[in-house]
Chain A
Amino acid sequence: MTFTALPARKQPRDRVLRCLNCLARMDIPAKADRFACPRCKMEYEIGWRAGQAKILGLTHYFED
């Protein structure tokens, strides 16, 4: 028995994230560790899990 989805696990939207500030979709360049939303310019620290981009946090955490 084979599971077709298991070996591949690479998916077309692995590098697509949504901006948490303005909700626009963001295409993250491969291996980027920072990325600014093209629409609102909010900048994020980016991490990677098995080829999938993820937001780690804000480069400028909430300032007083």
Chain B
Amino acid sequence: MALRGKVAVIDLTKGEITKNSIPEKLRRLYLGGRGLQAYLIYNHLKPGADPLGPDNVLVTSAGLLTGTMAPAAARSQWGGKSPVTGAIASSNMGGFFGSELKFAGFEHLVVKGASKKPVYLWVHDDEIEIRDASHLWGKDTFETQQIIREELGDEDIKIGCIGIAGENLVRLANFRTGPKDAAGRTGTGCIAGSKKLKAVAVRGNLGLRLAHPQKALEYAKEAIDKIMMTKVAKAMGVDGTSYIWNVTNTSGLLEWMNAQTNKFPFGDWHNMTIERFHEEYSVGIAACFNCTVHCRHQFRLKEGALVGAFGEGPEYNTQTAFGTFGLDNWGDMLLGWHLANLYGIDTTGWCNAVRGCMELYQRGIIDKKVTGGLDLSWSNAKELTPKLLQLTAKNEGFGAIVGQGPLGIIKELSKYSDKIDYYILHCKGLGKLGNVDRVQPSFSLGIATSTRGADHLRSRPALDHYHLPEDVLEKLYGGYVSSDFTSYDGKARMVRWHELTYAVVDSIGTCKFQTVFFSPNLPCYEEWCKYLLYNAGLEFTPEELFDIGERVYTLERMINQREAGHTRKDDYPPERSFKEGLPYGLGPVKGKHLVRKKYEKMLDEYYELHGWDKDGIPTSGTLKWLELDQEPSHII
């Protein structure tokens, strides 16, 4: 078979490493990346394992096509059992780590057990070494990467690592690579910290054996032409994902002050736009591996504690996150973002936790006695952010509460009120991002049913906002879908379609932003079949890929049921989305909230489309059809 790519199992308790090739049967069932990772988690994770114990696994995966000529095939995927939610940990990142892992001869690293002392993995040309990392413990994520490159004598080494947050077992800790990219959500950095794994360094000169290199090259050209002709490619190439902020802010689709209002309450919204970032902070824009769109902002801090520091990003989601609790300008937001990156903290999750606690403070449910003297007023966000980020990273004081994420916060603070769960906005224990969901049923359903908890990257139906002709929608989704984003009609079909599609994309390893995520004119199943054929020599039909998406999504669901007991009760957006209408917004938005009866019907339709029962459990027929009835099969 074309392409290299083995699975290595690294037992840090025993110091043992085993390497396995990937059987073609598993390729055809799961592709690679997120798909095969779900298989490896289900098979290697001891059922009921403590997320911070040695029985948890940390699985690092490159996509099946990562490192090939498929456009934007840059992604890597990190997973295990989440210390934040107790369900699946699953997070996907760009950059150059995934492609380098492939060039070094590996596609998946399954890290088991736990080391007694800090270590890092040195992965290079079919070899893996477990090396001492005592001298790296306590270093930030930028410094860690530089020290490893210097000691191994190669500036082209790519490194995934944790910061002090991961070392200190902060549940919101992430795994990072380069100056920007992060497997940000679900606490992958905390898992690494529990194993005393500081970093994974990769460098490869093995190359990839493409099945049909000339055809792969020619088709890449055709696909890139198609991608670059879309309006969104130009928008992304100039403004990055922050181009979305202007649209959502204008519509009233951003939630400020923990979703109490959808009108920017902290001054002049112009200070928050990407145009202001360009004027004051931008020093360039870069790309991930094999990407022609280049949406990674580069900046230099002009003031504050880290003046002169260089960084990349942020994305729209982080721009939104830091703004929602009171940072009202790019200088303060970039400082917060950069500090979080140095410490290795998930910015989306941390900002969600902070704004929830700030509302509790606003309502008098908690006070300075609880916060250790911290002023959690909205007007104090600028002073609060660096202090609380540092406390979080050290797992000290009130930071030790915030850093646990929603479930930990609710557990710690419920003694002060029985309404904590109402104000800490989450689904399945993962903090909600700062976008309004309650007027867009498809978005609400998507974040609620997402296998990793409240998150848009598992199913976001951005096309729902484009008001596309319904015949176009019907052709894409295979059935009726309303073109009105506030409607419930057909939205279960839409969400399920995006869930399966993104599961396929994450398994292949290409960037979601170069798929139907943003435009119906971007690559989809037909194109992916050609990517797979020319690069990997694997022949699939679009229908077969769609079925793989269903298999991956259902297996993730099975992990959640086994590890966290998830059922229908866990498939709802925060209660606030049902109870409080939006105070502001344009015509389609103002005054709206979710209607429970309609949501329940939509959820029933969603389960039926997946082949799950009324409680959200996959039926025996579905498991058999998807060949999941024999799992765990322990093939590798």
- A contact set with B: CB distance below 8 Å: 1, 3-6, 9, 11, 13-14, 18, 20-23, 40, 42, 44, 47, 49-50, 52, 54-58, 61-62
Contact = CB atoms under 8 A, between A and B. Distances in A.
Contacts of B585: 62
A6 B228 contact: yes
Given A5-B229, A20-B251, A47 B234 contact: no
Given A21-B587, A54-B243, A61-B269, A49 B250 contact: no
A16 to B, nearest CB: 9
Task: Determine which residue in B234, B235, B252, B269 has the highest number of CB atoms from chain A within 10 A of its CB, and name it.
Answer: B234
A55 B275 CA distance: 11
B228 A18 contact: no
Contact of A9 (B228, B239, B263, B270): B228
B520 to A, nearest CB: 14
Contacts of A52: 231, 234-235, 238
Contacts of A13: 231
Interface string B206-230: 0000000000010001001111110
Nearest to B278: A49
Given A5-B225, A6-B292, A58-B250, 7 more contacts: A3-B292, A23-B588, A47-B275, A52-B231, A55-B247, A55-B250, A56-B273
Nearest to A16: B231
Interface in B237-294: 237-239, 243, 246-247, 249-252, 263-264, 269-270, 273, 275, 292
Given A3-B228, A61-B269, A44 B587 contact: no
B361 interface: no
Contact of A20 (B243, B250, B264): B250
B246 A57 contact: yes
Nearest to A52: B234
A20 B466 CA distance: 10
Contacts of A11: 229, 231, 234
19 contacts: A1-B217, A1-B221, A4-B225, A5-B226, A6-B292, A11-B234, A18-B467, A40-B587, A49-B243, A50-B237, A52-B238, A54-B235, A54-B243, A54-B246, A56-B246, A57-B246, A57-B269, A58-B250, A61-B269
Contact of A22 (B263, B270, B584, B587): B587
B305 interface: no
Nearest to A24: B467
Given A3-B221, A3-B224, A54-B246, A20 B586 contact: yes
Nearest to A42: B586
A55 to B, nearest CB: 6
A20 B221 CA distance: 35
Chain B residues touching A, majority SS: helix
Chain A residues touching B, majority SS: loop
A5 B275 CA distance: 26
A51 to B, nearest CB: 8
A62 B251 CA distance: 9
B228 A5 contact: yes
Contacts, number: 80
A22 B484 CA distance: 11
B247 A20 contact: yes
Contacts of A55: 246-247, 250
A14 B231 contact: yes
A47 B246 CA distance: 10
Nearest to A62: B584
Nearest to A7: B228
Nearest to A10: B234
Interface residues of B, number: 35
B235 A49 contact: yes
A18 to B, nearest CB: 6
Nearest to A61: B269
A52 B587 CA distance: 25
A57 B270 contact: yes
A49 B238 contact: yes
B246 A49 contact: no
B238 A50 contact: yes
Given A20-B251, A57-B270, A3 B246 contact: no
A57 B268 CA distance: 11
Given A3-B292, A6-B228, A22-B587, A57 B273 contact: yes
Contacts of A23: 467, 588
A35 B98 CA distance: 45
A2 B410 CA distance: 56
A5 B229 CA distance: 6
A-B pairs, top 3 by smallest CB distance, nearest first, are A5-B228, A62-B584, A49-B238
A54 B292 CA distance: 21
Given A18-B467, A49-B239, A57 B228 contact: no
A33 to B, nearest CB: 12
Contacts of B586: 20-21, 42
A22 B588 CA distance: 8
A3 B252 CA distance: 39
A54 B231 CA distance: 11
A22 B568 CA distance: 36
Nearest to B238: A49
Contacts of A9: 228, 234
Given A20-B251, A57-B250, A5 B224 contact: yes
A49 B269 contact: no
B587 A3 contact: no
A62 B252 contact: yes
A21 B243 CA distance: 18
A9 B228 CA distance: 7
A61 B588 CA distance: 16
A7 B225 CA distance: 11
B220 to A, nearest CB: 9
A2 to B, nearest CB: 8
B230 to A, nearest CB: 8
Contacts of B247: 20, 55
B223 to A, nearest CB: 10
Contacts of B225: 3-5
B436 to A, nearest CB: 13
A50 B285 CA distance: 14
Contacts of A44: 250
Contacts of A6: 224, 228, 292
